[in-house]
Amino acid sequence: MSARGALLRLEQLEVVYQKVVTAIQGVSLEVAEGQIVALLGSNGAGKTTTLRAITGFLGVDDARVTDGRVWFEGRSIENQPPQLVAHQGIAIVPERQKVFETLTVTENLEATVPGAGTTRAEQRRRVERVFEHFPRLHAARRRLAGYLSGGERQMLAIGAALLCTPRLLLVDELSQGLAPRIVENLLERLVELRKELGLTVLLVEQSAHVALQVADHGYILENGRVVLDGTPQRLREHKDVQEFYLGQAGGGERRSYRDVKQYRRSRRWYG
Amino acid sequence: MQTVANIAVLVAIYALIGSGYVLIYRVSRVLNLAQGELMMLVAYLLFSLATLFGGHPASALAGAVLLSLLVGLVLYVVLMRRMTGELVIAAVLVTIALGILLRGLMVLVWTGQMARPLEKLGWQNSPLALGHGVALSSVAVTTIFVAIAIYVGLFVFFRYTAWGVRMRAVGENPLLAAQRGIKLHVAYAMAWALATFSGGCAGMLLALDSGLDGTMAIIGLKAFPVVLVGGLDSLRGAIVGALIVASAEVLAIQLIDPLVSDVVPFVVLIAMLAVRPWGLFGTEEDIQRV
C-alpha cells in the first residue's frame, strides 16, 4: 500500500462475543503513517467491534480477539488493556458518551492532559493549543460539556483525544447526527491536524459521502468481512458503492439499498 | 442556643463520616459499608500511638492521620483493586465482610473496653463557654473547625486540582477515562485514602471527646442515612443530609426521649426514600443502577 509501511495493521482478525457470536471474521486492513483511512459499512457490519479490538475495549462486553493479529508500530497489541493501548499512542473519539458531561469544557481537557512528566505550565499550554484548533471551544470553555451542541461535543472529543498525543486517531462516526456544514468543518480540521501534527486517522463511518471526501484509502465492511477496498476514486466508481453507499442508482431510478441489499450484494461480491 | 450548638457538632461528625461514603461512591460506585469500622480503626490507631508516644501528642496525632491515609490506600491495593470490573454488588459485599472482620480484629487487639486516647495524649477537654449560656467541649469545637477545613479542602481539591478533576471524570465515565489514559487505579486508591482519612478524623475526634469502645461502628452506620438523604454522589448533599438528620436526632433527644436517638436517622431515611429515593442532591439514575 505505502512504501513507508503500515502504522496499524489488522491481520485476519476475528472477534467472538460471549464465546459464541462471531462479530468479525478475517478482517485485514492497513493504515499507513500519515494517511486518513476510511472504514465504511452499514449498521452491524462490525465497524465498532473492529475499533474495540484495536483499543482493547472488547473485555467490557465479554468479547475477545480469538484469531488474527493487531499490529501497531510493529508490536502486536490485541487483547491488551485499554490504558496500555492509550499510552502507546492510540486515541479514540467514541461514537457515544465522548465527553465528561458533568465537567466543564476546560475540565474535560485538563482531566485528559497527562500529568506525569510535564509541568503545570506545559499542561496549560497544551490545553491552549486545543483552543487554538477549535476556537468555538474556547468561547464555551466554562460551560458544562453536557450542555454543548453535537458539533461542539465532537470538537471537544477530538481535542481531548489530541491531548493524549496520539500517533493514531480513531474516530467512530464523525458525522452522526451533525449538520452537513459542521461535518465539512470538522473534516477540514482533521485534514489540517494531520498535516500539522503528522497524525494518522482511521475514520469509521456509515456515510461514505463524508469519509471518501478526505480519505486516502477506504475499506468496506459487511457482515464482519472486508468486501472491498481501494482508493476513494476506485470505490466511487464501483457500481455497488454508488448504489448502496452513495445513493446513485446505476440504472436511472433510485432504489433504497435495503430492498436489494442482501441479494444483489452477495451476487456481485461473492459470486 | 445550646441545642443549635449541639446540632452543629453532630452535623460536623456526620458530615465527616458521610464524606467518606460519598467519596468512594462518587468515584467508583461502590458503597463502602465498612466506613464505621474504618473510623473506629483509625481511632484505635490513635489510641495506640498515644500510648506509645505519650510525651508527644502532636506526633501521635500526625501519625494517626498518616496511618488513616495509608489504611485506605492499602485496603484498595490489597482488597478492592481486585473488585474492579466485577459487579458493584460484589464489591459492596466485600466491604461488609471487611467491616465484620475489622470489628472482630479490633476486639481481639484492643478488647472491647472503653479507651480514652485524650488522657493518653495528656490533654484536657475543658468546656468552652461560647456566650449566651452556650458551652461546648474544646474537642467538640475543634470538630466543627476540622469538618469545615476538610470540606473546604475537598471542594478545592475536586474543583482546582488535576487529580480532583480526573476523579470526577472517572466517577462519571470510567470507560472514557481509561480511553483518555487516566489511571483508574490511582483515582480509586485516592478515593479510598481520602475517605478513610475524613472518616478517621471523625473517629479520632469522637474518641477524644467521649472515649472509644466497640459501639463506635454504629455511629458510622448512622451516618449512612445522612448520605442517602443528601444523595450518595454529592458532597453538598452530605452536608445538607447531616443537617437534617442531626437536627432531627437532637430534637428527638430533647423533646421525646434520648433512647430514640439511634432510631431517628433511619426514620428520616425511610421517609426520604419514600419521597425521593435518590436523595436531595443525588443523580436520579444512579440509584436505579445500584
Residue in B closest to A102 by C-alpha: B172
A36: its cell numbers = 486518513
What is residue A5's predicted lDDT score, i.e. its pLDDT? Answer: 66
Q: What is the mean pLDDT of residues A105-118?
A: 85
Q: Which run of H or of E encompasses A90?
A: strand A90-93
- Partner residue facing A103 (CB), from B168, B175, B184: B168
pLDDT category at A267 given cuts 50, 70, 90 is very low
Q: What is the mean pLDDT of residues A224-247?
A: 81
Looking at residue A84, its amino acid is L
Query: CA-CA distance, A231 to B98, in Å (whole number)?
Result: 60
Q: Which of residues 79-98 of B touch A (CB under 8 A)?
A: 85
**pTM to 2 decimal places:** 0.86
**B102 to each of B82, B95, B96, B99, B203, how far by Cα in Å?**
19, 10, 10, 5, 15
B268: its cell numbers = 428520616
- Partner residue facing A100 (CB), from B169, B178, B181: B169
Query: CA-CA distance, B38 to B33, in Å (whole number)?
Result: 9
Q: For residue A59, which residues of chain B lie inside 8 Å, CB to CB?
A: 85
The alpha carbon dihedral of B233, B239, B244, B249 has a sign of: positive
What is residue A2's predicted lDDT score, i.e. its pLDDT? Answer: 40
Q: Does B166 touch chain A (CB under 8 A)?
A: yes
Phi-psi region of B210 (alpha: psi -120 to 50; beta: other; left: phi over 0): alpha
Q: What tens digit of pLDDT does each residue of A25-76 get?
A: 888 999 999 899 999 888 888 888 898 889 888 877 778 888 888 889 888 8
Interface mutation target, options B160, B165, B180, chain A, most CBs of A under 10 Å: B180
**A119 to each of A7, A200, B162, B190, how far by Cα in Å?**
30, 27, 12, 21
Q: What tens digit of pLDDT does each residue of B132-156 get?
A: 788 888 899 999 999 999 999 999 9
Helices (H) and strands (E) in chain B, counts: 13, 2
What is residue A161's predicted lDDT score, i.e. its pLDDT? Answer: 92
pLDDT category at A256 given cuts 50, 70, 90 is very low
Q: For residue A119, which residues of chain B lie inside 8 Å, CB to CB?
A: none
pLDDT at B270 over 80: yes
Q: Does A45 touch chain B (CB under 8 A)?
A: no
Q: For residue A58, which residues of chain B lie inside 8 Å, CB to CB?
A: none
What is residue A68's predicted lDDT score, i.e. its pLDDT? Answer: 87
Q: For residue A99, which residues of chain B lie inside 8 Å, CB to CB?
A: 176
Q: For residue B173, which residues of chain A lie inside 8 Å, CB to CB?
A: 97, 100
Query: CA-CA distance, B195 to B227, in Å (whole number)?
Result: 13
Least confident of A72-86, B70-84, B146-160: A72-86
Closest CA to B227 of B202, B201, B246, B212: B246
What is residue B82's predicted lDDT score, i.e. its pLDDT? Answer: 86
B4: its cell numbers = 443549635
**A126 to each of A114, A164, A189, B104, B121, how far by Cα in Å?**
10, 10, 17, 52, 50
- Partner residue facing A82 (CB), from B163, B173, B178: B178
In sequence order, the β-bridge partners of residue A104 are A144
Q: Does A118 touch chain B (CB under 8 A)?
A: no
B100: its cell numbers = 465484620
CB contact under 8 A, B176 and A94: yes
A61: its cell numbers = 462486553
**Residue B115 near residue B41 (C-beta atoms within 8 A):** no
**Residue A246 near residue A208 (C-beta atoms within 8 A):** yes
Q: What is the mean pLDDT of residues B203-227?
A: 89
What is residue A269's predicted lDDT score, i.e. its pLDDT? Answer: 52
Query: CA-CA distance, B29 to B19, in Å (whole number)?
Result: 14
CB contact under 8 A, A83 and B181: yes
Q: Does B58 touch chain A (CB under 8 A)?
A: no
- Partner residue facing B165 (CB), from A94, A107, A163: A107
Q: What is the ipTM of this complex?
A: 0.81
In sequence order, the β-bridge partners of residue A205 are A40
Q: Which of residues 23-52 of B touch A (CB under 8 A)?
A: none
Interface mutation target, options A62, A92, A95, A102, chain B, most CBs of B under 10 Å: A102
Give the three-class secondary structure for A91.
Answer: strand
3-class SS string, B188-250? HHHHHHHHHHHHHHHHHHHHHHHCECCCHHHHHHHHHHHHHHHCCCCHHHHHHHHHHHHHHHH
CB contact under 8 A, B172 and A103: yes
Give A105: exposed, middle or buried? Use CB within 10 Å, 0-12, 13-18, 19+. Answer: buried
Q: For residue B166, which residues of chain A lie inside 8 Å, CB to CB?
A: 111
The C-alpha R_g of chain B, in whole angstroms, comes to 19
CB contact under 8 A, B162 and A110: yes
DSSP annotation of B162 reads: H
